[in-house]
Amino acid sequence: MSSHPTDKRTTVPSILARKGGRPIVALTAYSALTARMVDAHADVILVGDSLAMVEHGMDSTLGLTLDVMILHGRSVMRGARKALVVVDMPFGSYEESREQAFRNAARLLGETGCTAVKLEGGVGMADTIAFLTARGIPVMAHIGLTPQSVMTIGGFRTQGRQEADWPAIEADAAAVAEAGAFSVVLEGLVEPLAAKITGAVPIPTIGIGASAQCDGQILVLEDMLGFSPRVPRFVRRFGGLGEAADKAIAEYARAVADRSFPGAAEVYSMKA
């Protein structure tokens, strides 16, 4: 856990002030290594529960514990100097009651040094969000396609394809904003609905699979760098690091096999 007192960290009010202005750049990071790289360019770093699949090889986000999120949150805080760091509240850590949510959110902030937490849910979570924000815990909300509810909604499905479904999603957005969330992630929404919500709520919307009409964007770092073999349609691969890493590892293996590594430049010699 660390903060860097000589560096000016992005604040919740500064993110709120970006509503309708310069787009907010957000990316995930799960370690000090990736946080250092992302921090140079991003306004917000999310320690997302997507690390369940990306880092731990799980089939969904549902198996993560609060202790695992704290471990990764601490690591990210060691690498991030200026970005606002948000840590996901894992499944089962906040749904039971607002008091449970407060205890666990307080642990996340206190034990990692992060600035805010993120939790999924709209109207049903508004009372919890209001309870947290009234007690000094900044909350980033998350509506639309909510991965922690994937079994309930029947899979990773785009939301809002039927206009009849829009009012409920719009109500979710209005509810989390009214409850005091400082921003809201819109995941897997059709473009016109994302645009409508962005124009209606007073807090920044951060899209993932919700079009450029949002106030900002977020992607999973490993997806956009090309490490993930399969990615959703909304991901653009900005790099081919997966292929580059595979090539480097293969070259290392060949060099070991043919005894060309280590070479003369990589071994220690006796003192004369």
What contacts 137, CB < 8 A, 6 or more positions away?
102, 105, 106, 109, 116, 117
Tell me: is residue 170 an annotated ligand-binding position.
no
202: tokens are: 């007073």
43 is in an annotated binding site: no
**Residue 67 labelled as part of a binding site:** no
Q: Give the pair of three-digit tokens for residue 102.
A: 């407060």
**100 vs 92: CA distance, rounded Å:** 10
The pair phi, psi for residue 248, each rounded to 5°, is -65, -40
Tell me which residues are annotated as active site.
Answer: 187
118 is in an annotated binding site: yes
CA distance 74 to 47: 10
Contacts of 254 (CB under 8 A, 6+ apart): none
- Ligand-binding site membership of 49 (annotated): yes
**Binding site for 3-methyl-2-oxobutanoate: which residues?**
49-50, 88, 118
**Binding site for Mg(2+): which residues?**
49, 88, 120
**Binding site: which residues?**
49-50, 88, 118, 120
